[in-house]
Amino acid sequence: MRLVIDAGNSTIAAALADDGHLLATDRRPIAEATDPERLATALSAALGAQVLETSAVEAVVLASVVPAATAAVTAFAAHRGLDLIVAGPDTIPIAVRLRHPAEVGPDRLVNAFAAARLHGVPAVVVDVGTATTWECVDAAGAFVGGAIAPGLRLGLDALAERTALLPRVSVDLPASAIGRDTVSAIRSGTVLGHAELVTGLTRRIVTELAERCGVAPEAVHTVLTGGLSATEWSEAPDGFETVDPDLTLRGLALLPVVSPAIAR
């Protein structure tokens, strides 16, 4: 059994996985993953005491964009004598057709790898988290780029923090696009507006990827993932074939112990 961990800027997602299948999953604030002891406590509370038993867990697989979380998970695995696989260009079996493969976030590469393995190619993955990212996989299964935008909650936080009078609001979808008060206006412009951003840019990216691959746009698989994909907000963006909130964790569960050499 593996312990798979996706450490993002806002949350840490973790799961126990056996033979590529997730057995239990949980998400916690990233602050709980920046110290080895606090991490152990959080994992035990989230997934059960068996995550601390070396007889139950044979390896830890990590994708992290937070250096402090990477250090904490590394110390956690070393203290328990567990093998640690850190996701990156050298451990994820996917070709990266970019000038600087090392600059791509490991979560984005895992998303691309998972989409190719689980949903088919060509594919576009949209991960709606702290940042909203688009990952493009061509017909040969290679990562060929994408896009990055500020995430929905980041936009809401910025409005509240950088203005004098605008309130902090939840990510609930508004009843209509025309807001009748300040809160509903913010939800229209930001919450509904982010769904329109995702819908519109995904459509454009799908068209470009289809042309590049020589296929019809309908042949491009589209996957929505990330924290917001597990909320009612995921019903707002149009045109997605699959909503898979645990795509990154599922990709980590499928990583080989030793990746083959990948031509770049």
Annotated catalytic residues are: 107
Q: How far, in Å, CA of 252 to CA of 6, rounded?
A: 8
One DSSP character per residue, 33-76 reads: GSSHHHHHHHHHHHH-GGGG-TTT--EEEEEES-HHHHHHHHHH
